[in-house]
Structure 1
Amino acid sequence: MDLGLSGKKALVLGASRGLGAATAQALAAEGVTVFAAARNISALTQSEGIKPIQVDLADKQSIAALIDTIQAEGGVDILVNNGGGPKAGPAQGQPAGAWTGAFEVMALPFFAITDALIGGMIEKGWGRILTIGSSGIVQPIPNLGLSNGIRGAIAGWSKTLANEVAPHGITVNMVIPGRVATDRLQELDSGRAERTGASLEDVQAASRAEIPVGRYGRPDEFGAVVAFLASQQASYITGSIIRVDGGLIKGL
């Protein structure tokens, strides 16, 4: 299927590894020029159509520089918001600074970058804004209190924005992974093994047993879904949260 994306431009945040890298590669394979933004651009996979650009989402000046660079390039047609999560821990007992710090790093950069670039999409009458979230949005993950809370706020923003810009030919969606084999999942599995005293292999086997398809997802499977949501064919999908989870999430 031709997704109709050849010649489009995209900005993918957090593109040096995991889901962000898989998304950047999937879009580039469709003929999209991808500005792959990451704090460590040396870790970016070099391939045709991918242009590394450095950004630190914890640094306001770095974010402003990124916005200036993208606007100087004429803006983008596709924006993929993606970033790392905070440290694991319960919701109970978190100091106020932990909540504000997580919000400033996880949510505010997405809001600022989107606000700065969406005007160009409105002028063109076409755009795609996609935010990579977490299954904790719809089924909170134990011991990820900060992530569940902040990502839930981002989901509310995404849905609100979708309603505002739909008349301009812009779709706004979230994509949430289940257990996809990334460095982040490895870190979470290792943390669970350390807390419980079980081996990493046993933790992973128990985790896979909870997934109806019986395995962890592949990053490229996730990237393919994001690429479709960015496509011409997905023009009637907006305000949605799409799960790529192998059936893991039990809620309707």
Structure 2
Amino acid sequence: MDLGISGKVALVTGGSAGIGLAAAKSLAREGCDVCVSARDPERLADAVVELQQFGGVVHAVLADVEDPTAAQRVVEETRDVLGPVDILVANAGGPPTGRSDEVDLKDWDVAVQRNLLGTVRLIQAVLPEMRSRGWGRVVTVTSSSVREAIDGLALSNAMRPAVAGIVRTLAREVGGDGVLVNNVLPGPIDTERLRGMSGGDDVVAARGRAVPVGRVGQAEEVGDVIAFLASERASYVNGVSMLVDGGHSRVIA
């Protein structure tokens, strides 16, 4: 299936590893020119090498979305090198883990800056040009905690639904301008974060057996869903929070 986005400019934050890198690869494979942004310079350089195999133009910007000045800088540099951003994938690492009585105000501030305001600033930086051109895609990456709280992840349980609320609101506000805004909710995906919280291979495998499809997901599977939501083929999908969890969630709606 041709997703109809060849030649589009995509910006992927948190794009040096995990789901962010997988999304960047899926978009590059579809013919997008891609800018990836992340905090680790070595990983970012490695990501550029991986993305260059798809033949498009690749650029990298070293930045931390917790920095209030980062979003505008990343968007402007992407525009200067590749052109205006057509597709934004707003992705960041998860907030600190812990129960409500274990996280302190510093942890809350990290979560707000990284997972809420970082996303808001990125969206605000790309929306004006998307609306003026009459075409744009914004895909935020959050968590299945939007649908049901996850024990030990108090900050994620608070921040992720806030982003989903922003997505639903913006979808109604800018859909008429040709800008579609959607949210992806990964469930158990084999990433460094999952392994850091769960333990070794045996524990990850055990978690997979609790998923109806019998395994944890791969980052590439989330990346492909993101690419679809960013595409022309998803032209009537707007304001959704889409689970990518192998059927793990028991929530009906």
Would you call these one fold, judging by a TM-score over 0.5? Answer: yes
Write the mapping of 1:199-238 to structure 2, written as runs, cut at 5 A. 200-238=200-238
Counterpart AA for 2:155: L
Partner of 1:130: 139
* 8 Å CA contact retained: 2:72, 2:125: no
Is 1:67–2:67 an aligned residue pair? no
Partner of 1:4: 4
Distance 1:248 1:58, change over 3 A: same
* 8 Å CA contact retained: 1:41, 1:52: no
SS in 2 for 1:80: strand
| Displacement after TM superposition at 1:162 (Å) | 0.8
Write out per-residue CA displacement over residues 75-130 of structure 1, whole angstroms, 9 at most, x where no aligned residue: 21000000011221112354334323310222111111111111111011010000
Is 1:113–2:122 an aligned residue pair? yes
Counterpart AA for 1:243: L
| Displacement after TM superposition at 1:147 (Å) | 1.0
Of the structure 1 ranges 69-78 and 240-249, higher mean CA displacement relative to structure 2 is found in 69-78
SS in 1 for 2:69: helix
Write the mapping of 1:165-244 to structure 2, written as runs, cut at 5 A. 165-190=174-199, 200-244=200-244
Identity percentage of aligned residues: 40
Is 1:153–2:162 an aligned residue pair? yes
- CA distance in structure 1 between the partners assigned to 2:87 and 2:201 by the alignment: 38
| Displacement after TM superposition at 1:201 (Å) | 4.4
Which 5+ residue runs of structure 1 have no aligned equivalent?
191-199
| Displacement after TM superposition at 1:57 (Å) | 1.4
Partner of 1:195: none
- CA distance in structure 2 between the partners assigned to 1:219 and 1:104 by the alignment: 24
| Displacement after TM superposition at 1:42 (Å) | 2.2
Of the structure 1 ranges 203-212 and 146-155, higher mean CA displacement relative to structure 2 is found in 203-212
- CA distance in structure 1 between the partners assigned to 2:222 and 2:16 by the alignment: 15
Is 1:53–2:53 an aligned residue pair? no
Counterpart AA for 1:124: R
- CA distance in structure 1 between the partners assigned to 2:142 and 2:155 by the alignment: 13
SS in 2 for 1:52: strand
Write out per-residue CA displacement over residues 209-244 of structure 1, whole angstroms, 9 at most, x where no aligned residue: 210011111111111111111110101000001111
Q: Provide TM-score, normalisation by structure 1.
A: 0.91
* 8 Å CA contact retained: 1:132, 1:175: yes
Partner of 1:193: none
SS in 1 for 2:6: coil
SS in 2 for 1:107: helix
- CA distance in structure 2 between the partners assigned to 1:67 and 1:28 by the alignment: 18
Alpha carbon RMSD of aligned pairs, Å?
1.5
- CA distance in structure 2 between the partners assigned to 1:182 and 1:22 by the alignment: 11
| Displacement after TM superposition at 1:51 (Å) | 1.8
Of the structure 1 ranges 138-147 and 55-64, higher mean CA displacement relative to structure 2 is found in 55-64
- CA distance in structure 2 between the partners assigned to 1:169 and 1:98 by the alignment: 37
* 8 Å CA contact retained: 1:71, 1:117: no
- CA distance in structure 1 between the partners assigned to 2:162 and 2:198 by the alignment: 25
Counterpart AA for 1:105: R
- CA distance in structure 2 between the partners assigned to 1:144 and 1:102 by the alignment: 11
SS in 2 for 1:119: helix
SS in 2 for 1:67: helix
- CA distance in structure 1 between the partners assigned to 2:194 and 2:102 by the alignment: 24
- CA distance in structure 1 between the partners assigned to 2:131 and 2:12 by the alignment: 19
Write out per-residue CA displacement over residues 21-49 of structure 1, whole angstroms, 9 at most, x where no aligned residue: 00000000000001011112421321323
Distance 1:201 1:2, change over 3 A: closer
